[in-house]
Amino acid sequence: MHDQPNPSRPTSRKVLKPHRLALLASVAGLSFAVLAAGPGNYLPLNLPAWTSSAHAAETTSNAPGFADLVSKVKPAVISVSVRINGDAENGNIMQNERMDSDQSGSPFEQFKRFDFRIPMPQRHEVITGEGSGFFISPDGYAVTNNHVVDHAQSVHVTTDDGTVYTAKVIGTDKKTDLALIKVDGKKDFTYVKFADALPRVGDWVVAVGNPFGLGGTVTAGIVSARGRDIGAGPYDDYIQIDAPINKGNSGGPAFDMNGNVIGVNTAIYSPSGGSVGIGFDIPSETAKLVVAQLKDKGYVTRGWLGVQVQPVTADIADSLGLKQARGAIVDNPQDGSPAAKAGIEAGDVITAVNGAEVKDARDLARHISMIAPGTSVKLDVLHQGQAKTLTVALGEMPNDRHANAGEQQSREMAGTPHLGLQLAPAADVDGSGDKGVVVTAIDPDGPAAEHGFRIGDIILNVGGKNVSNVGDVRTALNAAKDSGKHSVLMRVKTADATRFVAMPLAKG
């Protein structure tokens, strides 16, 4: 016969050894309970009278948390849904450049932007996507990422209470990955404000968004670092956080403990495709300036200094008598540029803008880009060993000039693999020598940017052939493509070294 179970004792026959127990202590209430390692097994203890349930409730209510903050800001956070026509022109839009494209060999292949787009199986393919955003005014202006609404045929937002509204795109800025959208018909949306100061490393941060299309979700962590450059664009200056963010969180806000937005979620480092605790936010100081211009005129204009610069290496610093390798050394001021008019010369080192230290060439570009055209700025410059301060009236970034050059080069490069570069013969660019072609502009979302190209780099050789003009590059690329190669090897001269880069041959 088999023994019948005794209802007066547990049916589990696990032996609860001392080392299998975990002791949980509440320091504030000094209350204790013992949990068995096995699921559902608890060993009661005879607790003193002063550890009453009322006292435990009081301790719980006084425990620190984010509930008050979340209840205040969460109604301002929205889900952003888009529909995109998946025609031949936009056939690859469902695959976000940072998330799904083939970036094998790219140093940035594990940095991903998430806009969670899903193709719908129809004859004329329609692509839907989910991202996040947040209201910044009671009359319906909201911020999200450019890559969330890029190419969208229609945009809808869902608020925290489940109400769906139609939205329109007011303006976008690809260089910072920001977009401004607007919901009409209501004047009392809950909204949040951008923080006035940058957070400190180690400060608490709460991220709210729409991961995987689930709806409003809250995560918490700390600010891990500031000033991160992940190669996503020319003005990278990200805040790194460890609050988990995933697909669909793009465009969502990250809050400080006062409920102010310190950054806009835009990318994560992800070997696995999901959050590993390394996320990147566009800082509030950048977002405020960009959003203000988008609201005012629908696009962004940036200050223009008109210099070709490179970082100050240790050797350059030593030769110039600098104590540290800091600042940006001028290779060449462009003719007629604000820099040339102010007297800046080749060899000058720009060390500060309006008193703010310039760390390197990219830092100078970020400083200048944050200042409106027409503004006078003070530049601290080291000129022939002497420190001086120059006042420069910034011009406007000549986008039209770049666009015209790009159109001409597009005609020359028609039918060849897309690089995302604008090139000029080195002989035509002062200070570049007479060999190779110089990179004069870069598409921040193109393959060249993903493979580490920078303005001022000189391409010496493509596919084993020396190049001296755009035609040489076109010929070498087409030869590699016709031979069935999936990539072509380029020899590139940078500011301080020469390296080889294997560029993919996806057709442009």
> Which of the 8 DSSP states describes residue 358?
P
For 274, the 3-state DSSP assignment is coil
Alpha helices per DSSP H over 370-499 = 399-412, 447-450, 470-482
Sequential DSSP letters for 417-430: BP--EEEEEGGGST
Q: Using alpha carbons, list the distances in angstroms from residue 209 to 113, 142, 187, 219.
A: 14, 13, 23, 9
Residue of 132, 250, 275, 337 with catalytic role: 250
Is 44 buried (19+), middle (13-18) or exposed (0-12) by CB count in 10 A?
Answer: exposed
What is the Cα–Cα distance from 491 to 274, expressed in whole angstroms? 35
Neighbours of 184 (CB within 10 A): 11
Reported in sequence order, the residue ranges of 41-96 that DSSP labels E, i.e. its strands, are 42-43, 77-85
Q: Identify the active-site residue in 115, 150, 177, 472.
A: 177
Residue 193: half-sphere exposure toward Cβ, Cα within 13 Å = 5
Catalytic-residue membership of 428: no
177 among known catalytic residues: yes
Secondary structure letter of residue 75 according to DSSP: G
Helix (H) or strand (E) holding 291: helix 284-297
> Is residue 339 within 8 Å of residue 305, measured between CB atoms?
yes
Asked if 250 is an active-site residue, the reply is: yes
Active-site residue, selected from the candidate residues 31, 115, 132, 147: 147
What are the catalytic residues? 147, 177, 250
